[in-house]
Amino acid sequence: MGKSLVIVESPAKAKTINKFLGKNYTVMASVGHVKDLPKSKLGVDIDNGFEPYYEVIKGKAAIIKELKKAGKSADHIFLAPDPDREGEAIAWHIAEEIDKDRQKTRRVLFNEITEKAVNEAIKHPIDLDRNKFEAQQARRILDRLVGYQVSPVLWDKVRRGLSAGRVQSVAVRLICDREREVQAFVPVEYWSIEAELKGAASKNGFIAKLAKKEDKKVEIKNGDEAGAIVKDIEGAEFKVSGIEAKEIKRNPAAPFTTSKLQQEASRKLGYTAKKTMMLAQQLYEGIELGKEGPIGLITYMRTDSTRIAAEAVEEARNYIQARYGADYLPAKPIIYKTKKKAQDAHEAIRPTYLKYPPEAVKEHLSSDQARLYALIWNRFVACQMSQAVIDQTRILINVKQYLFTASGQVVKFPGFMAIYVEGKDAAAEEDEEGKLPPIAKGESLRLLALLPEQHFTEPPPRFTEASLVKELEENGIGRPSTYAAIISTIIDREYVVKEKTQLKPTELGFLVTDLLVQSFPEILNVEFTAHMEDELDKIEDGGAKWRDIMNEFYGPFKDRLSKAQKDMKNIKTEETPTDIACEKCGKQMVIKWGRNGKFLACSGYPDCKNTKDFKTDEAGNVVALERAAPEITDEKCPKCGSSMLIKSGRFGRFLACSKYPECKTTSPLTTGVPCPENCGGKIVEKRSRWGKVFFSCSNYPKCKYAANEMPQTPASDTRGQEAENE
Task: Give the length of the chain.
Answer: 726
Q: Strands of 677-726 (E only): list them.
A: 682-687, 693-697, 706-707
Residue 123: Cβ within 10 Å count: 8
SS3 86: helix
Which of 625, 274, 255 lies closest to 481, judged by CA? 274
Q: Give Cα separations from 497 to 168, 219, 262 (angstroms).
A: 14, 38, 19
The letter for the amino acid at 366 is S
Tell me the DSSP string of 172-203: HHHHHHHHHHHHH----EEEEEEEEEE-TT-S
Q: Give Cα separations from 67 to 19, 54, 423, 648 (angstroms).
A: 20, 18, 46, 52
The letter for the amino acid at 229 is I
Query: Pairing relation of β-strands 25-29 and 4-8?
Result: parallel
Q: What does the angle CA 623 – CA 628 – CA 631 come to, to the nearest 5 degrees?
A: 175
d(CA 96, CA 109): 19
Residues tagged active-site: 300
SS (H, E, C) 469-509: HHHHHHCCCCCCCCHHHHHHHHHHCCCEEEECCEEEECHHH
d(CA 513, CA 174): 10
d(CA 111, CA 717): 32
Which of 250, 273, 255, 251 lies closest to 470, judged by CA? 273
Q: Give Cα separations from 594 to 624, 625, 723 (angstroms).
A: 16, 17, 22
CB of 53 closer than 8 Å to CB of 43: yes
